[in-house]
């Protein structure tokens, strides 16, 4: 709401110095939290930018549109993405920022952008480094629990090792061939999502149709993850009963 309500369009520094410089500050904060090498910080010759996607919403406690990207050599990126018509050049003689001026339009394809930095600033000021770490670790702990119970059920398999809070699994009865297993997992995915009690996604890994469960909601607790596992088992029982 703050990002939209302030109605800032910081595509060049002159359009909103505050928005541009706050973005430089918060991406450097995040770089330090992640222990990135000095060369990825602005003071080390690198720098960061906040891009828009949905993936980061899980752990940055934002809705979306707040994905950090760091580069050690910003010139390489801006040379590829920059649009520099005369009317967008910084020629303000009162400005002390000349060749060092950051124009975030040069770090993306689109010309306009929103005040993304305010989102990350609010979250970091509200939760702090310790709060952010605890938030992420809690999700990873719950995903680890889910991975263990999947691995303990001989009807299922963990297709690839858990990555952070993402668990990839599939129902793999021993009496079925690969084609039947894929069809079965497509049905399992549809049945779980149709229940309205949980939502899971899928992917294809090495030609295998894989079900993915990601723990990431700000209000998610272990009881929710347990309920999701019980739902997966319930739907798996129904499908296996019908095919035997």
**C-alpha torsion 200→205→207→213, nearest 10:** -10
Sheet with 201-205, edge to edge strand ranges: 156-163, 166-171, 208-214, 201-205
Parallel/antiparallel/unpaired status of strands 166-171 and 47-51: unpaired
Structure tokens at 16: 């909103």
Structure tokens at 208: 């295998």
Structure tokens at 53: 């996607």
**C-alpha torsion 145→58→74→92, nearest 10:** -160
CA distances for 183 relative to 151, 156, 190, angstroms: 21, 15, 11
CA distances for 171 relative to 146, 153, 185, 189, angstroms: 14, 10, 6, 10
How many beta carbons lie within 10 A of that of residue 162, not counting itself? 19
Active site residue 104: no
Parallel/antiparallel/unpaired status of strands 156-163 and 166-171: antiparallel
Q: Are 102 and 20 in contact (CB under 8 A)?
A: yes
Catalytic one of 7, 87, 99, 207: 87
Catalytic residue list? 87
């Amino acid at each position: 709401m703050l990002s939209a309500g302030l109605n800032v369009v910081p595509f060049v520094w002159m359009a909103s110095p505050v928005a541009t410089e706050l973005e430089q500050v918060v991406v450097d904060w995040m770089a330090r939290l992640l222990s990135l090498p000095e060369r990825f910080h602005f003071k080390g010759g690198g720098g960061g930018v906040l891009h828009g996607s949905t993936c980061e919403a899980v752990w940055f406690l934002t809705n979306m549109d707040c994905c950090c990207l760091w580069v050690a050599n910003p010139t390489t990126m801006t040379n590829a993405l920059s649009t520099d018509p005369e009317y967008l050049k910084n020629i303000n003689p009162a400005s002390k920022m000349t060749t060092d001026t950051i124009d975030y339009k040069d770090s993306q394809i689109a010309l306009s952008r929103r005040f993304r930095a305010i989102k990350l600033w609010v979250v970091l000021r509200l939760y702090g480094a310790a709060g952010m770490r605890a938030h992420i670790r809690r999700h990873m702990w719950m995903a680890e629990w889910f991975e263990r119970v999947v691995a303990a059920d001989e009807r299922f398999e963990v297709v690839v090792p858990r990555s952070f809070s993402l668990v990839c699994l599939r129902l793999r009865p021993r009496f079925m061939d690969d084609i039947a297993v894929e069809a079965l997992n497509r049905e399992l995915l549809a049945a779980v999502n149709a229940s309205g009690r949980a939502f899971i996604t899928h992917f294809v890994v090495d030609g295998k149709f894989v079900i993915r469960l990601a723990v990431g909601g700000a209000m998610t607790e272990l009881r929710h993850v347990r309920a999701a596992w019980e739902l997966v088992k319930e739907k798996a029982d129904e499908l296996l009963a019908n095919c035997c």
